[in-house]
Copies of this chain bind each other. A is one copy, B any other.
Amino acid sequence: MTEASEHGGAAPERAATNPGRDGTAPERATAAPGRDGAGVRDDGTGGRRNGAGDPRPGAGGPAPRVRLVDVAREAGLSKTTVSAALNGTGRLSPEIREKARETARRMGYRPNATARQLRAGRARLIGYVVGELADTPWTFLESPYFARLTGATAATALARGYAVVLLPAGSLQSEWAALPLDAVVVADPVADDRIVEDLLAARIPVFSDRSVEGRPGAHWVDVDAADAVGQVLDHVHAQGARRPVLVVPDSTTRFHREVDAAHGAWCAARGLPKLTVRAAEPGNGPVIRAVETALGGRPERPDALLVVAEASPPLVLDAARRHGYDVPGDLLLVCVSEDETAVHTQPPVTTLSLRPDAVAEAGIAHLVAVLEQGLQETGGSLVPVRLDVRASSVRPG
């Protein structure tokens, strides 16, 4: 009965110091009804149903968790000593340290993460939101790009000691206010999404793409869209294409606006026609329809098709065939995609990877620097893309 509930109830006027030596302390710590003294005590919410010394087999509910103080009592040591022993801090004799560890192991002690977090002032928790398609939340995971970005973000963060929680697109304060988030990653925010504003207003650091540039507290990593367009167009141009057509979703995403601008600049610089077909929205259906528009019914047929939208490479290839094209004989094909099926088609499809893994790594590295080194400037970085050339874009012969 050295430690428990010495502060609890009984004599409010009693001196609060040196409780262990206070001979008048009521002797109820280990007696029934458990640690719950007769005096000042919470209801069950915050309190413990059952004292460690009072298993009370009949009483429902799971056995209470072993706390640091339980280990200390069992080992005949103080909380401090046990804490130091388990955390490897402080200067303790090896025997004491081993004894504390052994007792903890034997009792199945696991530190309370929440208490540690409160103590540390941080929860090492990062929110992760995809802002796109707020009306159909969660579908983003079905896009290979976002699937990889999500996985890479979680993996990289965890390697740095941060856990990632998934948040729904277009979520209100109420959704995440109850979470102790150290920061939030907002992938591909749409222009009118409130979430970035809400987070910044709540003083939560935001990591996103370049569209948040300039706002205090917002940091960014982005894909180099101009580099992407340049690499793709240069590649098919080198293969002899003179009428490349781009299929781009008609979205407000920053990336696609930059793609459009870079495309225009590239065509102007070479005196080639700027051929673009816009898909009404992302998704296989609209993009495939746009592909068919791009390939069919033109006086002059295109000689290269560049799909800058998530679409299934085999579906694009089939569409081209239905329109009478031989790939790569009549038509060079490049898809901006992370979709692994591109490798398995015949011919395999050339893809441009937006490097979600690299984006995630750069983003988390930046985030950790901000959170841990107190890095202030809201700078950002541009991640290069990678072109994986396969048979679909290499002119035969």
Tell whether A165 pairs with B164 under 8 Å between CB atoms, given A114-B114, A114-B123, A139-B151.
Answer: yes
Contact A118 B121 (CB under 8 A): no
A176 CA / B163 CA spacing, docked (Å): 8
Interface check A155, CB cutoff 8 A: yes
Interface check A142, CB cutoff 8 A: yes
Tell whether A180 pairs with B142 under 8 Å between CB atoms, given A16-B17, A344-B284.
Answer: no
Interface check A58, CB cutoff 8 A: no
Contact A115 B112 (CB under 8 A): no
Residues in A156-207 with C-beta less than 8 Å from chain B: 158, 161, 163-168, 175-181, 201-203
Stretch at the interface among A252-260, A299-307, A312-320: A312-320
Tell whether A180 pairs with B117 under 8 Å between CB atoms, given A315-B344, A374-B60.
Answer: yes
Residues of B within 8 A of A119 (CB): 45-46
Q: Which residue of B lies closest to A175 (CB)?
A: B158
Q: Which residue of B lies closest to A66 (CB)?
A: B203
Residues of B within 8 A of A63 (CB): 203
Contact B288 A315 (CB under 8 A): no
Contact B138 A154 (CB under 8 A): yes
Interface 1/0 per residue, A38-65 and B, CB below 8 Å: 0000000110000000000000111101
Instruction: Indicate which residue in B116, B141, B165, B345 contacts A141 across the interface (CB closer than 8 Å).
Output: B141
Interface check A274, CB cutoff 8 A: no
Q: Give A contacts to B, CB under 8 Å.
A: 12-17, 45-46, 60-63, 65, 108, 110-121, 123-125, 137-142, 144, 147-148, 150-152, 154-155, 158, 161, 163-168, 175-181, 201-203, 283-285, 288, 312, 314-315, 318, 322, 340-341, 343-346, 374
Interface centre among A13, A62, A341 (most CB of B within 10 A): A341
Residues of B within 8 A of A346 (CB): 318, 322
A357 CA / B88 CA spacing, docked (Å): 45
How close is A310's CB to chain B, nearest CB, in angstroms?
Answer: 11
Contact B164 A138 (CB under 8 A): no
Instruction: Indicate which residue in B17, B118, B142, B166 contacts A154 across the interface (CB closer than 8 Å).
Output: B166
